[in-house]
Structure 1
Amino acid sequence: MAGQFVVNANVCQRRALVFRHFLFGSAYFRAAHSRASAVQPYRFLLFRDKLAKRIRARATRRAGELLKQVEPAQGARSDLGPVPSRSLAAQASGMSERQAKTAQRLANVPEEVFEEMVESNSTITAIAEIGTGVSTGADAEPVEPSRPRHLATISL
């Protein structure tokens, strides 16, 4: 009885070997494996880009929070000497005027909303629009277009 079991085990091993050779040795498997291997670096790059966008958004928000700590110098007398302002702080840190405005707008967005939008891969511009209070989405009220002057009717 024990010898018969050994024969059946050997037969099963041979069948598994043949099946494995059929599956993994086939041209179809090799082609699929090479395609998957070719796609793998791009998947990593996509993940890396998404991670970089999230880090950049959080860093820009933090820069905006730091800029908001500087008191605005609106209406300050410049004849008494240089007055520290947000624009000077932004220039000293190497930021352009546009980058400084975007950073401050990101800092105006509530933390929960900001994190939700960052994790959903929203753009920095879309998040900054929330900080300005301007809505360009579907919930915005439609504006009636004005007629061009050359199409306007003239009444005398």
Structure 2
Amino acid sequence: MDPYFSPFLSPSALAERYQRLAPHLQHTPVLTSSSLDALTRASLFFKCENFQRSGAFKMRGVQNALLELERSGLPAAGVVTHSSGNHGQALGWACAEKGLPCTVIMPSNAPEFKKRAVALTGARIVECTPTLAARTQAV
């Protein structure tokens, strides 16, 4: 099994990824709530990934994948993904940062505000019917 794609990362592998990703991500706070702690009888922590540029944690995975791809050389033709919103937006931002072309295959029934958010990154959007077969064919 490829250790990079292992579902379980060692503490040192996590630390390496943290250092590698830090320059590419927004620092996001961790919040707590004493009232929710009391209600649940547990200590709850809320990581505010909605403060990332893409509005979601997806930026972490996208940046990690692109940085790994850089090790073998980024494809000059760019990258393609299919997404109904957040992942496509994150990939669009990350590719724009690197000057890399990005195409996002989006289902035609994706919300318009999600399509606009992806378009604002400079990514090329290709719409398709909302089926896996159509997404695959659109690539």
TM-score interval, normalised by the smaller of the two chains: under 0.3
Computing the radius of gyration from Cα coordinates, the structure with the larger value is 1
Whichever structure has more helix as a proportion of its residues is 1
Higher strand proportion, which one?
Answer: 2
Q: When the two structures are superposed, what TM-score results if normalisation uses the length of structure 2? A: 0.26
